[in-house]
Amino acid sequence: MIPRAPKGTDDLLPPASERWRRLLRVFDNLSVRYGYGLSMTPFFEATELFSRGVGEVTEIVEKQMYTFEDKGGRSLTLRPEATASVVRAYLQSGASGVLKVAYSGPMFRYEETQAGRRRQFYQVGVEYLGEPSADADVEVIELGYRFFQELGIDDVVVLLNSIGDPEDRIAYRGRLVAFLMERADRLSPDARRRIKGNPLRVLDSKADADVVAEAPAPGNHLGEAATEHFAAVQAGLKRRGVEYLLVPRLVRGLDYYNRTVFEYESRSYSAAQASLGAGGRYDPLAETLGGPPTPAVGFALGVDRIVLAMPEGDEAPPLDVFVAIVDQARRGDALDLVAKLRGEGLAADVDLGERSLKAQFRLADRRRARGVAVVGDEWDDGLVTVRRMDEGEETQVAIEEVVAWARNR
Ligand code: HAM
């Protein structure tokens, strides 16, 4: 039997992978335009990074981590997310001041699998470290918003909230715990267990939606500084034309956040995985990991979900030139021509299968080649027969003119 990919993982092959390619290109281009450098961090980290960074009493750390011991007896974990890693890398490098980075890559969470909810899934994200200004929140949220627009997903709305500063949450937490305790008999066992450890997480519990609907909301219990910050974020988003919706009970599944939290949701993509991406401000994280105070904000977007929401029609990009070989005696010349075209930055390909000329033209058609250059006997006279596929008409051009001909469409 042929081995199969593990449950909750996916293979990506053409033509489906072309959408991914387009998505990654758009993200790369956008993050360069917004001034984000590239960060790459290990796919596995010391387990402690996530239990401390993401939080002991979170779904991710309690239930979803791929944790193993290596041959040296270290406890390692396949990264369930990248924010903790980026902050670790920043602290470890001894850097200070502002760092703006973008990343993309696989993350690992042991989930109940379904469409758009995978055990190995792919995120693109940005992190903006070292900047406390609300304008950094606005820049990050706007970047994600533009990303969806440039992909052609134009029904994305930003769900927005502020969960305040840690000191605001002490008072709020007390009120929430009292509220939940009074209604403990109506709560799910998971929610009851969380009242003590992490009561904010109850707000996120689908099973407890009717109790949660009446619960005090973190967004309504902000201190002065957080209120001011949140007002500035909203004003900035309005000025940038970013559509957002205030959701006072929006909380996140990771413990490192303070103040601004947000999610990108597609209005038409109704599955349980409507959250195409999420992020927020996480000023406390660097200190949690033992570093100096480092304000920060960022997001991560779920590529597996986003490609499901992307408009159809992402085929492989067309070839500029397909080089056809009349007679295999000309094979070397044809390969020289292909190499030259590629060297000049054109997309060129050739059939190495010794097929008939007719079959090669069919192949060129399938590859959506804009032109075919036929290498035949006229090569000896310094000529190549060329055909534009839309017009069908053939002419001959000098070998050194083929590049110009291919460009000049
Ligand atoms: P998160 O909310 O855990 O945040 O994940 C962000 C996004 O990743 C989700 O909105 C979703 O689109 C996608 N995602 C999460 N789990 C899965 C899964 N099992 N299968 C497919 N997609 C999934 C974070 O990861 C934070 N690090 C975001 C962040 C960056 N905050 C600040 N900076």
Average pLDDT, stretch 322-338? 96
Structure tokens at 345: 């930055």
**pLDDT tier for residue 317 given thresholds of 50, 70 and 90:** confident
Spacing, Cα 342 to ligand 1 middle (Å): 39
Mean pLDDT of 379-408: 94
Atom in ligand 1 nearest the alpha carbon of residue 116: 21
1 pLDDT band (50/70/90 cuts)? Answer: very high
Name residues contacting ligand 1 (CB within 6 A): 81, 83, 109, 111, 116-118, 121, 123, 125, 127, 253-254, 275-280, 282, 298-300, 302, 304-305
Say whether pLDDT at 147 is over 70: yes
**What's the whole-number mean pLDDT along residues 326-348?**
97
Of 275, 282, 283, 285, which is best to mutate to test ligand 1, by the most ligand atoms within 8 angstroms of its C-beta? 275
Closest ligand 1 atom to residue 118 Cα is 20
Is the pLDDT confidence value at 314 over 90? no
Residue nearest to atom 12 of ligand 1 (CA): 302
How much is the mean pLDDT over the chain? 94
Distance 263 CA to ligand 1 centre (A): 10
For 148-206, the pLDDT digits (tens) are 999 999 899 999 999 999 999 888 988 999 999 999 899 999 889 888 888 888 888 88
Looking at residue 356, its pLDDT comes to 96
In angstroms, the CA 229 to CA 237 distance is 12
**pLDDT surpassing 70 at residue 338:** yes
pLDDT reading at 335 higher than 60 = yes
- For residues 23-36, give the mean pLDDT: 98
Region 233-241 average pLDDT: 98
| Res 408: pLDDT | 84
Tell me the C-alpha distance between 320 and 341, whole Å: 9
Higher pLDDT, 386 or 309: 386
Q: Which of 12, 64, 81 to mutate to test the pocket of ligand 1 (most atoms within 8 A of CB)?
A: 81
Q: Give the closest residue (by CA) to ligand 1 atom 16.
A: 117
Q: How far, in Å, from the CA of 192 to the mean position of ligand 1?
A: 25
Output the CA 174–ligand 1 centroid distance in Å. 28
**For 95-126, how does the pLDDT look when each residue is reduced to its tens digit (9 = 90+)?**
999 999 999 999 999 999 998 999 999 999 99
pLDDT in tens, 251-293: 888 999 999 999 999 987 655 678 999 999 999 999 999 999 9
Atom of ligand 1 nearest to the CA of 82: 27
* C-alpha 121 – ligand 1 centre gap (Å): 9
Cα 237 to ligand 1 centre (Å): 22
Model pLDDT, residue 36 = 98
pLDDT tens for 56-71 read 988 999 999 999 999 9
Residue 276 Cα: closest atom of ligand 1: 12
For ligand 1, atom 13, which residue shows the shortest CA distance? 302
Least confident of 141-150, 223-232, 314-323: 314-323
Q: Which atom of ligand 1 is nearest to the CA of 301?
A: 7
- Overall pTM surpassing 0.75 (yes/no): yes
Quote the ligand 1 centre to 15 CA distance (angstroms).
26
- pLDDT, residue 204, reads 82
Is the pLDDT reported for residue 240 higher than 90? yes
| Distance in Å, CA 126 to ligand 1 centroid | 12
Choose which residue among 9, 104, 121, 140 to substitute to test ligand 1 binding: the one with the highest number of ligand atoms within 8 A of its C-beta: 121
The residue to mutate among 50, 107, 261, 303, having the most atoms of ligand 1 within 8 angstroms of its beta carbon, is 107
**pLDDT tens string 390-404:** 988 899 999 999 999
